[in-house]
């Protein structure tokens, strides 16, 4: 199983991955979480944030996810850049792929801008911000779209993801959607 969570910076991807991990770990002891920032650091932080670097970053994540999934691990992914070609590759190449899009507009994210990313980008102080000066490619085929503005706490969203996984597979085992690896 691969659950790929995407959305703009600040939409709650990492927080949702953590909530899903807490809920799924007992049933999926071979569950791994990959966060875009952590993967970037694990590869030595050699990439910047240009669109070209973001493309390479996601390709790295895809390669690691595929390697882990081929070894029987279940993977939760939190990744920002959502180019349609990359998401299409995921659907074709990652087993039991399930895509979650945390939908949030810039105005909403400005209100939760803990890192000052959007404020700095709007002032021209920070470059290469997806949704500001790098185009945001809104996912068009997500298995679940969650409106981050009205979604509630991460535990509620995690339950929505689990229900959607369950509905997709018809599997009621342990209240989750896919068989453990």
pLDDT tens, position by position, 82-106: 899 999 999 999 999 999 999 999 8
Task: Kindly state the average pLDDT of the residues 109-138.
Answer: 92
Percent of the chain whose pLDDT exceeds 90: 78
Task: Kindly state the average pLDDT of the residues 166-176.
Answer: 62
pLDDT tens, position by position, 14-65: 999 999 999 999 989 999 999 999 999 999 989 999 999 999 999 999 999 9
Nearest to 39 by CA among 3, 88, 76: 76
Determine the CATH number of domain 2-105+137-175. 3.40.50.300
CB-based contacts of 12: which residues, under 8 Å, 6+ apart? 102, 104, 148, 151, 154, 157
Per-residue pLDDT at 178 exceeds 80: no
Least reliable range by pLDDT among 13-17, 72-76, 111-115, 170-174: 170-174
The whole-number pLDDT of residue 152 equals 81
The whole-number pLDDT of residue 140 equals 94
The whole-number pLDDT of residue 169 equals 72
The whole-number pLDDT of residue 171 equals 58
Per-residue pLDDT at 172 exceeds 60: no
Residue 75 pLDDT class (50, 70, 90 cuts)? very high
């Amino acid at each position: 199983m691969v659950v790929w969570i995407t959305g703009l910076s600040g939409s709650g991807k990492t927080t949702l991955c953590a909530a899903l991990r807490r809920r799924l770990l007992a049933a999926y002891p071979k569950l791994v979480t990959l966060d875009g920032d952590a993967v970037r650091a694990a590869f030595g932080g050699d990439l910047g944030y240009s669109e070209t670097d973001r493309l390479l970053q996601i390709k790295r994540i895809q390669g690691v996810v595929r390697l882990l999934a081929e070894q029987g691990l279940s993977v939760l992914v939190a990744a920002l850049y959502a180019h349609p070609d990359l998401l299409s590759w995921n659907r074709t190449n990652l087993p039991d792929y399930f895509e979650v899009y945390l939908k949030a507009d810039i105005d909403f994210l400005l209100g939760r801008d803990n890192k000052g990313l959007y404020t700095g980008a709007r002032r021209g102080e920070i470059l290469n911000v997806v949704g500001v000066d790098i185009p945001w490619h809104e996912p068009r085929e997500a298995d679940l779209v969650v409106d981050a503005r009205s979604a509630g706490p991460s535990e509620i969203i995690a339950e929505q993801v689990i229900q959607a996984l369950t509905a997709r597979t018809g599997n009621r085992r342990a209240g989750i959607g896919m068989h453990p690896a």
